Amino acid sequence: AQKITQTQPGMFVQEKEAVTLDCTYDTSDPSYGLFWYKQPSSGEMIFLIYQGSYDQQNATEGRYSLNFQKARKSANLVISASQLGDSAMYFCAMSFGGATNKLIFGTGTLLAVQP
Amino acid sequence: DTEVTQTPKHLVMGMTNKKSLKCEQHMGHRAMYWYKQKAKKPPELMFVYSYEKLSINESVPSRFSPECPNSSLLNLHLHALQPEDSALYLCASSQGEDVYNEQFFGPGTRLTVL
């Protein structure tokens, strides 16, 4: 069965510093996608970054990068130069199911950026 | 237009009421989704529509009835709900239906069942 694990319920980071949010996954499917979403207190799920299971290089989107270690089944999110607006819940998610896009989420990490 | 919209933002209903949630996207996406998110929990998939046809129902009770009238619109009809159905209901869409497509979410509807 597919599973996503986020072991950090909450984290603090100082403004302008980098922070790493951990995510491990488990699947026997060879084809899958890994995603990170940000959910502010308003509730909207904001897509941040994506990594496909066959991608050789780590994905980057602005201040976000995904540290993909396939052998270790980890997909950690790195946020560089944290900003106060980065304070939110962060969910790691995995898509699986071949031709049908089923998405499962980890339990989330609540990030607080301190001035 | 890279937006998924949902109406209403908030909904309060009694257990005997019938109401509907609406989701709309104009990105030409061919797959649309309903998720349910309880407080302090991750979203859970309810339904998947692909090319306007229901492709996945995650064993959702029949008091929730999805409908996809066209490729841009997704509805969720609610009838005889229970207080435990109170949650944030999120709609999402993706360009394609395979695992390599990111899903874009709407702002959600916060539902309270009295």
Shortest CA distance from A51: residue in chain B: B100
β-pair type (B64-70, B87-94): unpaired
β-pair type (B18-25, B53-57): unpaired
What distance in Å separates residue B63's CA from the closest CA in chain A?
Answer: 22
β-pair type (A24-26, A3-5): antiparallel
Interchain CB contact of B31 with A (< 8 Å): yes
Cα–Cα–Cα angle for B68, B73, B77, rounded to 5 degrees: 55
Closest partner residue to B97 (CB to CB) among A35, A91, A101 is A101
Structure confidence by residue, pLDDT tens digits, A62-110: 999 999 999 999 999 999 999 999 999 999 999 987 667 789 999 999 9
CA B89 to chain centre: 6
User: Which one, of B86, B6, B92, B97, lies nearest residue A47 by Cα?
Assistant: B92
Interchain CB contact of B54 with A (< 8 Å): no
Give the Cα separation of B38 and B40 in Å (integer): 6
Structure confidence by residue, pLDDT tens digits, B49-86: 999 999 999 999 999 999 999 999 999 999 999 999 99
Shortest CA distance from B58: residue in chain A: A102
- Assigned token pair, B71: 């490729």
What's the burial of B3, exposed, middle or buried (CB within 10 Å: 0-12/13-18/19+)?
exposed
Structure confidence by residue, pLDDT tens digits, A3-50: 999 999 999 999 999 999 999 999 998 999 999 999 999 899 999 999
Contacts of B50 in chain A (CB under 8 A): 100
Q: CB-side exposure of A73: number of CA atoms within 13 Å?
A: 15
Mutation to test the B interface, candidates A101, A105, A107, most B Cβ within 10 Å: A101
pLDDT value at position A97? 75
Give the Cα separation of A45 and B92 in Å (integer): 9
User: Which one, of A108, A106, A2, A109, lies nearest residue A53 by Cα?
Assistant: A2
Closest partner residue to A95 (CB to CB) among B90, B99, B106 is B99
pLDDT value at position B2? 59
How confident is residue B96, by pLDDT bands cut at 50, 70 and 90?
confident
